[in-house]
Each structure stands twice: as structure tokens, then as C-alpha cells.
């Protein structure tokens, strides 16, 4: 039985299907963080390394913190610039005052903010930045995404993704561990095969938990059939990548 928060059964689909993050946008966030030369940044909830790859491509050394062993096993890159460790937002087991920049992509909604923000402040170097970011699908900009969202409402009506509507600026400042929150965003498109588009939904953890295995497979079959009906062997999936950054209090 799939448990909420356990990505073990979805690690393969996650590695195959999830989009990356616009490198120019990540570079802009990195510049704003002003990471001292040679210092390793800390990425929490690193998953299978989607953001990690962009950070390495930009010349970063990364401590990639990920609690799920199956996700770490499929993670890329595996090289000397990345150290993969088992940990969570609430317990990183990293030294105090050691992280010049803490970043989390598509992950902070799993955190318990009061506990997590205190832990992140503990490991943050003086004046370090914390950035949490999400790739949000731009459903209104894609007829196929619009159709898929309606199918979810019809087939799995109990599903919700309320975290997407949270005021993350308020959350980051809620414990007084971090201040001066800023928001930045970039729109981008990811070209996918039909098979990858179906896997994108298989990798959606909360949706899979809400549906259960039988309804989820039925849902995926309907998506695949609709792609075939529309003659979509490849499609561009639009995203808005949005980042919230804050500074550790002294």
C-alpha cells in the first residue's frame, strides 16, 4: 500500500518524467545568493537530482539531502561535486552555520514549517539565503493540460493540491528564522513524448495516493488514449517556475 510521503514506488516514473528547472533562472537565483567560492550549497528534498544537475552545470558543489533511498539510487549526477545524504527538512544532520545557500525544489510542501525553518536556520551560514521553488504546470496555456485537469476532477474528485495556493512568503517569515522574502519566476516549456506525459502523472504522489492503484492505472490509460486520439506523439508542457527566497536572521 502506498503511504503518503513515500516515493519508493514512484522513483522510476519520477526519474523518467519530471521536468528540470530553467538554467538561466537557477543561475539568477544563484547569483542573488552570493555563494562564496568553493562552498557547497545544500539542496534538501533533492529527489532524483533534477535541480542538482542544473546546479552542477552552473559550477556548484552540492550536498544533496534526500530521505528516500529509492530516489537517491536513481539520482543524477553521481560525481565528486555532489554528496548525497539521507536527511529531511526537519533533521539534516549537517553542521551548524555551514550552508551558504539552502535550496529546495518541488519539496518544501512536505516540510513541517515550524520545525523545518528552525533546522534550516541552524545550518545556515550568517546571512545565508533560503530558496524554495516549484515548477507549476500552466494548465490554462495547454489544451491537453486543461483536459487532464478535468479528467482528474471527474475520476478522482477527492484529490486536491492545496499547497499550490499557500502563501509561501508568509510561511517563510512565520517563525522569525528568516526575513526579507522575495519572489521570482520564469515561464518555460518542456517537450515530452506521449509516454513521458503519462509518466508525469504516474509520478504525481498525492494524486496516486488519492486514487489508489486501480483508479490511477485507469486514469493513465484514459490519458494515453486521449493523446492517441489527438495524434499527440510529442507535446510542449508549459510551466511557471516560481521561487521564494529569504535571508537567515542573525
Strands (E) in the chain, as ranges, are: 40-44, 61-65, 82-85, 99-105, 124-137, 178-193, 234-248
Cell of 145: 493540460
Report yes or no: 71 and 99 within 8 Å, Cβ to Cβ: no
46 is a domain residue: yes
Residue 230 belongs to what domain range? 8-248
Three-state secondary-structure class, residue 233: coil
pLDDT, tens digit (0-9, with 9 covering 90-100), for 27-79: 999 999 999 988 999 999 999 999 999 999 999 999 999 999 999 999 987 88
Classify residue 111: in a domain, yes or no. Answer: yes
Instruction: List the grid coordinates of 51.
Output: 535541480
Which residues, at least 6 apart from 29, have a Cβ–Cβ distance to it below 8 Å?
A: 103, 131, 133, 184, 243, 245
Longest Cα–Cα distance in the chain: 58
The residues with which 187 forms a beta bridge, in sequence order, are 240
pTM of the model: 0.95
Residue 20 lies in a domain: yes
- Give the pLDDT confidence of 153-170 residue by residue, as tens digits: 999 999 987 778 899 999
Domain assignment present for residue 186? The answer is yes
pLDDT of 2 higher than 90: no
Q: What is the average pLDDT across 70-99?
A: 94
Residue 91 lies in a domain: yes
Examine residue 2 and state whether it is found in any structural domain, yes or no.
Answer: no
85, part of any domain: yes
Q: How far apart are alpha carbons 223 and 139 in whole angstroms?
A: 15
Count of the separate structural domains present in the chain = 1
Mean pLDDT of 127-156: 97
Do the domain assignments include residue 3? no
Distance CA 62, CA 55 (A): 8
CATH number of the domain bearing residue 23: 3.40.50.150
3-state secondary structure at position 63:
strand
Q: Are 133 and 104 in contact (CB under 8 A)?
A: yes
Distance, CA of 234 to CA of 192 (rounded, Å): 6
Amino acid at each position: 500500500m502506498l503511504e503518503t510521503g513515500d516515493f519508493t514506488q514512484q522513483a522510476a516514473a519520477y526519474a523518467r518524467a519530471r521536468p528540470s528547472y530553467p538554467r538561466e533562472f537557477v543561475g539568477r537565483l544563484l547569483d542573488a545568493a552570493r555563494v562564496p567560492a568553493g562552498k557547497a550549497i545544500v539542496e534538501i528534498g533533492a529527489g532524483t537530482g533534477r535541480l542538482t544537475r542544473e546546479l552542477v552545470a552552473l559550477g556548484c558543489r552540492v550536498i544533496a539531502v534526500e530521505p528516500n533511498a529509492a530516489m537517491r539510487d536513481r539520482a543524477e549526477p553521481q560525481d565528486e561535486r555532489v554528496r548525497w545524504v539521507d536527511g529531511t527538512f526537519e533533521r539534516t544532520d549537517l553542521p551548524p552555520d555551514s550552508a551558504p545557500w539552502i535550496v529546495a525544489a518541488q519539496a518544501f510542501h512536505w516540510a513541517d514549517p515550524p520545525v523545518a525553518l528552525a533546522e534550516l536556520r541552524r545550518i545556515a551560514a550568517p546571512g545565508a539565503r533560503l530558496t524554495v521553488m516549484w515548477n507549476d504546470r500552466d494548465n490554462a496555456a495547454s489544451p491537453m493540460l486543461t483536459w487532464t485537469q478535468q479528467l482528474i476532477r471527474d475520476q478522482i474528485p477527492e484529490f486536491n493540491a492545496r499547497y499550490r495556493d499557500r502563501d509561501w512568503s508568509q510561511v517563510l517569515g512565520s517563525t522569525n528564522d528568516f526575513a526579507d522574502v522575495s519572489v521570482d519566476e520564469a515561464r518555460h516549456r518542456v517537450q515530452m513524448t506521449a509516454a513521458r506525459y503519462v509518466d508525469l502523472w504516474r509520478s504525481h504522489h498525492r494524486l496516486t495516493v488519492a486514487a489508489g492503484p486501480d483508479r490511477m492505472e485507469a486514469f493513465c490509460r484514459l490519458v494515453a488514449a486521449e493523446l492517441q486520439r489527438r495524434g499527440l506523439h510529442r507535446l510542449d508542457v508549459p510551466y511557471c517556475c516560481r521561487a521564494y527566497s529569504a535571508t537567515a536572521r542573525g
